[in-house]
Structures are given as structure tokens and as C-alpha cells.
């Protein structure tokens, strides 16, 4: 992971600073842990490559010379605690599911590969099934792990077939940009059938083929050889079905050579899944993600016949899970479609510093199998300029902005491809300039005032 040091000099002209010679990382005892030379001329703002960072806390000291030739130094009073940005968070369960009114609990494992730190655990799900998080904060040393239990409560009013997207995030308290998020999905299952509130009331129920029935049936009748057998059972006797639906793909798709941002949208893939349940019957067919790419013919709920589902998308989608759910909530998955990670994605874009009329933007890009030509920067929906950068971490300084104004930024990577270039998917963020003549506290007031005005529109 590359690290850069962003240096902003204020009042260096008035102080007659002639040059900046380098940066030192020093510990509490004043010992120099690392020294980095700086050659370019003095500027208001500069970026220095600082990888690797020391493996324990340090202070930053800037060195240089005045016009008089005397040495000049400034030290940042805040101690820096480097935290490795790779914090893995992964679920120990493949999926979560419960019937309306039911509960389910998943365990997630947080792994810290950096320095010791407290990590805040946050969970969101778009259907608001979340009940408890335990613990909400964990302290982890280097290479230490912790289990986090997340419980969900499905309301009785939920309907089977609903899918809630769950995001679990672990974020370092020391370095706010050190975090990782796991994504999973929660499925609402159909209610067990047959069902009746009065135990002694007989109901008419037609079981699917090969279903097993508990003993003590009231009676068994056959209408005629051409019609399906029917059972009259007491509601206290339930259909027993512990087998999951079968789900088989006709082939495993491949996106070899196209699993990179910019190229992935130029190739499509499709697959056909065959699903069937011989017990209580198939009730639901779903795919994660992008169910809009799924084509499922209408089928009667509880069918024991084969159901064919088609899934089609482009190579920008490299992970897909297709599954079926039967009438009793048994879940059957097809083999997971996994064509690897998509390369060349901007995974971090932030406005790191702001002035009255300028904003400093930085972003990182994941490993790319295709070389980057440049980046296109868009400001408030309008193309601003190109940024030539071939590092894993890039930055840009946007000037001539209005004070106390919120701006939207979008950065799109452009890749070399087949003698030309192709633009890939980008990332967006926002930033607000400071109010002219105000300090940081007033800048927050400026931002709050802007957000209040936006909310009143």
C-alpha cells in the first residue's frame, strides 16, 4: 500500500523560507526513524512518497533553509499512529434467512493486519431487520482477530422473497480511513405450510410429489387416476421436507482477459440455471447481485417441475450467486460464479484539504492488468481537465473556486487499449471550500449553513 505525505506551507514567504530539504519521522525520544529528501522548489502544497511507514508511532518534522542560509524546521505536534488500511472483514456464514417473525444471527470475523487500534463496528441493512451488534467496538493488536455477532429480527409483516442487503463495516478509531466492509444478503423465507391456529381443525392440503407426511393422518382419498392425490390432515401434522432445492448451471462462464475496469463492459456473459424441488416445491428463485439481469418464467409456487432461469450481464459483474427456496424455507445454491476481482477500480476518493478557493483531492486505484493513460476529472457535472498519473495513489489541486461552496467531483480512469484508450467506471465525492477570511471552526459553520439551505430547498 503506497503512502504519501501531504505538506501545506502557510506563511512561508513571509518567513523567508528559501527551500524545503526533506522530512523526518522521529519517535518520542527524538531519534530519526526515517528521512526523506525533497528536491522540488518550495510550493504552497506538495506531496511526498513516504512508503514504507515506521511500524510504531512517530512525529513528522519538516526541514529546510531560510533565505539567510540558516536552517529551518517545523514539527507537527500530533503523534502519528500508522494503521494498515487492509482490515479484512468476512462472514463466517454464507447467507442469512428467517421466516416472518423469526430471528437469525451471523458471526463476522474482523482481522487487523496493522498496528493495534480500536475498531468501531457498524451494520446497516436496507430493510431495517438489524436488531443487535455485539460487540460494537473491539480492540485488536497486530494480526489479532475478533468475532462480532449480528442479530436480525424479521417483522411478522414481512413477506417471503424479500432480500435485504447487509453491510458490516469495521473502522479504525485512530485512522478514520482505515476500514473494510463485508456485504451479505438476508432472505425472508416463506411461512411453513400447512398452517392453522386451531389444532383440531381439519384442513385440505395437496402435498407435492415425494413429500413425507407425519403419521396419524385423518384419512386418505383418491379422486381418480388422472388427478393428484389429496390428503386431509390435522393442522398439528406438518409436512416434513429437509432437502434443499437443486440448482445446476449449464456451464461456468468466463471473463478471462476482461476482468479490468474499462474492458469489462465490452464483453457480456450469460448462464442458465435449472432449479427443482421434489419435496414441498419451489417457491422462490433469486440471484445476488443485480436481479434485474435475471429472467425467470412464471411458475406456480410449490411446483415440483424444473424451472429454468437465465442470468445475463457484462464482465463488470464477476461474482454471482443463484439460489432457490422451497415452501419450507430450505435454500439451495448453485455453484458460486466467481471470476475473480475486478481490477483498475478507484476504491478511495476524498477531498483531503480545503482552502477559500481551492480543494485538494486524492484517490487510490486497485491493481490493474491494463496500464492507466490518465484520469478525467469532472467538477459539478462539467469536464475540468485530465490528470496524468501512473501511481497507485494520485492527487489533484483544484483552484479558482468560490468560497463556502459545495462541489461534486468525479474521477474516471482512462486505460490504454488496442492502440487507443477506453474510459472506465469512476468514483464521486463532494467537498466544500472555506469561507473567505474564516478559520476552521467557521468553515464548519459555513458547511452546516450550506447543508441547511440544501435541506430547505
Q: What is the pLDDT of residues 271-297, one digit of tens each?
A: 999 999 998 888 888 888 765 688 888
87-188 placed in CATH 2.60.40.1930: no
Pairwise CA distance, residues 325 & 243, whole Å: 11
Which pLDDT value is given to residue 53?
74
Pairwise CA distance, residues 259 & 209, whole Å: 44
Q: Is the model's pLDDT at 370 over the cut of 80?
A: yes
Higher model confidence: residue 425 or residue 205? 425
Pairwise CA distance, residues 301 & 339, whole Å: 32
Helix (H, G, I), strand (E, B) or coil at 265: helix
Task: Summarize pLDDT for 102-112 with one digit per residue, the tens.
Answer: 998 888 888 87
Which range has the top average pLDDT, 27-36, 233-242, 337-346? 337-346
Q: Is the model's pLDDT at 440 over the cut of 70?
A: no
For the ranges 84-88, 140-144, 241-245, 361-365, the lowest mean pLDDT is seen at: 84-88
Which pLDDT value is given to residue 308?
95
The full DSSP string for 10-62 is SSTTTTTEEEEEEEEEE-TT--EEEEEE--SPP-SEEEEE-PSPPSS-BEEEE
- Answer for the pair 412, 376: CB distance below 8 angstroms, yes or no: yes
Average pLDDT over residues 244-270: 93
Task: Summarize pLDDT for 203-214 with one digit per residue, the tens.
Answer: 333 344 333 333
Cell of 415: 486505460
**Hey, which CATH number is domain 4-75, 2.60.40, 1.10.3470, 3.30.160, 2.150.10?**
2.60.40
Bin 399: left if φ > 0, else alpha if -120 < ψ < 50, else beta: beta
Which pLDDT value is given to residue 446?
58
Contacts (Cβ under 8 Å, ≥6 apart) of 196: 203, 235
Pinpoint the residues of the chain covered by CATH 2.60.40.10: 346-456
Pairwise CA distance, residues 265 & 5, whole Å: 35
Burial class (CB in 10 A: 0-12, 13-18, 19+), 364: buried
Task: Measure CA 35 to chain center.
Answer: 36
CATH class label, 346-456: mainly beta
Q: How confident is the model at residue 216 (pLDDT cuts 50, 70, 90)?
A: very low
Pairwise CA distance, residues 25 & 3, whole Å: 13
How far are the Cα atoms of 179, 180, 365, 366, 451 from residue 176, in angstroms, in the given order?
7, 11, 19, 20, 22
**Hey, which CATH number is domain 246-338, 3.40.1440, 2.60.40, 1.20.120, 1.10.4160?**
2.60.40
Task: Summarize pLDDT for 11-32 with one digit per residue, the tens.
Answer: 656 567 788 888 888 887 778 8
Pairwise CA distance, residues 118 & 83, whole Å: 11
Pairwise CA distance, residues 22 & 37, whole Å: 4
Task: Summarize pLDDT for 47-82 with one digit per residue, the tens.
Answer: 777 767 776 778 888 888 888 888 888 877 667 765
* Pairing assessment for the beta strands 96-98 and 179-188 based on DSSP bridges: parallel
Amino acid at each position: 500500500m503506497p503512502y504519501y505525505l501531504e505538506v501545506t506551507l502557510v506563511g512561508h514567504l513571509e518567513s523567508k523560507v528559501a527551500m524545503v530539504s526533506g522530512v523526518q519521522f522521529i519517535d518520542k525520544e527524538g531519534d530519526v526513524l526515517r528521512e526523506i529528501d525533497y528536491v522540488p522548489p518550495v510550493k504552497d502544497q506538495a506531496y511526498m512518497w513516504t512508503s514504507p511507514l515506521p511500524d510504531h508511532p512517530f512525529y513528522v518534522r519538516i526541514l529546510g533553509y531560510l533565505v539567510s542560509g540558516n536552517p529551518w524546521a517545523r514539527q507537527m505536534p500530533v503523534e502519528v499512529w500508522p494503521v494498515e488500511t487492509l482490515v479484512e472483514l468476512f462472514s463466517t456464514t454464507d447467507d442469512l434467512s428467517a421466516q416472518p417473525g423469526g430471528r437469525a444471527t451471523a458471526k463476522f470475523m474482523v482481522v487487523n493486519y496493522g498496528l493495534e487500534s480500536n475498531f468501531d463496528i457498524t451494520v446497516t441493512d436496507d430493510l431495517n431487520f438489524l436488531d443487535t451488534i455485539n460487540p460494537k467496538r473491539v480492540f485488536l493488536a497486530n494480526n489479532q482477530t475478533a468475532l462480532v455477532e449480528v442479530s436480525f429480527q424479521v417483522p411478522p409483516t414481512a413477506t417471503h422473497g424479500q432480500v435485504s442487503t447487509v453491510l458490516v463495516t469495521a473502522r479504525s478509531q485512530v485512522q478514520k480511513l482505515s476500514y473494510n466492509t463485508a456485504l451479505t444478503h438476508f432472505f425472508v423465507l416463506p411461512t411453513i405450510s400447512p398452517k392453522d391456529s386451531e389444532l383440531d381443525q381439519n384442513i385440505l392440503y395437496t402435498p407435492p410429489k415425494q413429500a413425507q407426511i407425519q403419521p396419524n393422518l385423518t384419512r386418505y382419498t383418491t379422486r381418480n387416476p388422472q388427478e393428484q392425490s389429496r390428503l386431509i390432515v390435522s393442522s398439528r401434522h406438518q409436512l416434513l421436507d429437509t432437502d434443499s432445492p437443486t440448482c445446476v448451471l449449464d456451464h461456468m462462464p468466463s471473463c478471462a482477459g476482461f476482468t479490468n475496469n474499462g474492458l469489462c463492459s465490452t464483453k457480456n456473459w450469460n448462464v442458465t440455471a435449472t432449479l427443482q424441488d421434489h419435496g414441498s416445491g419451489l417457491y422462490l428463485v433469486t440471484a445476488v447481485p443485480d436481479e434485474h439481469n435475471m429472467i425467470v418464467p412464471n411458475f406456480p409456487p410449490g411446483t415440483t417441475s424444473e424451472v429454468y432461469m437465465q442470468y445475463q450481464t457484462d464482465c463488470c459483474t464477476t461474482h454471482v450467486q443463484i439460489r432457490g427456496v422451497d415452501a419450507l424455507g430450505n435454500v439451495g445454491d448453485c455453484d458460486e460464479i466467481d471470476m475473480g476481482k475486478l481490477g483498475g477500480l478507484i476504491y478511495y476518493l476524498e477531498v483531503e484539504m480545503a482552502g477559500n478557493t481551492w480543494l485538494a483531492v486524492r484517490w487510490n486505484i486497485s491493481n490493474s492488468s491494463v496500464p492507466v493513460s490518465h484520469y478525467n476529472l469532472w467538477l459539478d457535472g462539467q469536464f475540468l481537465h485530465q490528470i496524468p498519473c501512473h501511481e497507485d495513489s494520485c492527487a489533484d489541486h483544484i483552484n479558482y473556486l468560490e468560497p463556502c461552496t459545495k462541489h461534486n467531483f468525479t474521477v474516471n480512469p482512462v486505460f490504454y487499449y488496442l492502440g487507443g484508450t477506453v474510459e472506465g467506471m469512476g468514483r464521486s465525492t463532494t467537498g466544500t471550500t472555506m469561507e473567505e477570511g474564516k478559520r476552521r471552526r467557521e468553515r464548519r459553520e459555513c458547511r452546516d449553513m450550506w447543508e441547511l439551505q440544501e435541506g430547505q430547498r
